[in-house]
Amino acid sequence: MLHRIMAAVIGLLITLAPALAEPLDVSGVKFEQALQLRGTPLVLNGAGVRYKAIFKVYAAALYLPERASSAEAVLAAPGPRRLNIVMLRAIDANELGRLFTRGMEQNAAREEFAKSIPGTIKMGEIFAAQKRLSAGESFQIDWIPGEGTVISVNDKPAAGAIREPEFYSAMLKLWLGPQPADPALKDALLGKAPATPRGRHNAD
């Protein structure tokens, strides 16, 4: 009996460990080690900084039901997923939307991108409506099974769900595809590299 109780306690501690751990500090942005999305517990898979030349643009964190170390595993993961992005400097939101669209086209297969076009247009409208994202502001890209992709700005849904699964896949490939804008950030999101690459922590 005691053995069963101890096993149950150990199992509970293992389950709660990510939530009890200290948040990960990425260039001053604190990402929780675990969160709940629509009632499903997610763990921090990896986090890092997007650099443009020597400048820090934003910090990003990827949350999954279970950790994964490859883009293929991330895209195939069941259940909800979240990419949380926190701006480290002000940027024109409309320009950011255009850059995202270009990156999606570069990384997605032609047929996949074609099917994601309605969602891409909707994404562009969301960013155009924001006009400008200031340092400290954030947006979240959530995949909700049975619903689609939900884009939130500062944790508030900006529009209805984008239902095409091809859109979510193409969107994630911005960071995890064969031609990511920042390969070091790709490795960090996949848990293969430090959140801030060596030699770049003082890039500002």
- Tokens linked to 149: 């992709």
Please write the tens of the pLDDT for every residue from 47-104.
999 998 889 999 999 999 999 999 999 999 889 999 999 999 999 998 888 889 999 9
In a domain, 8, yes or no: no
In a domain, 173, yes or no: yes
In a domain, 197, yes or no: no
In a domain, 151, yes or no: yes
Interatomic CA distance for residues 147 and 194, integer angstroms: 33
| The total number of structural domains that make up the chain | 1
In a domain, 195, yes or no: no
CATH code, 36: 3.50.70.10
In 3D, which of 142, 186, 176 has the Cα closest to residue 47? Answer: 186
Number of other CB atoms surrounding residue 20 within 10 Å = 9
In a domain, 202, yes or no: no
In a domain, 165, yes or no: yes
Its domain, for residue 76, covers 23-189
| pTM of the complete model | 0.84
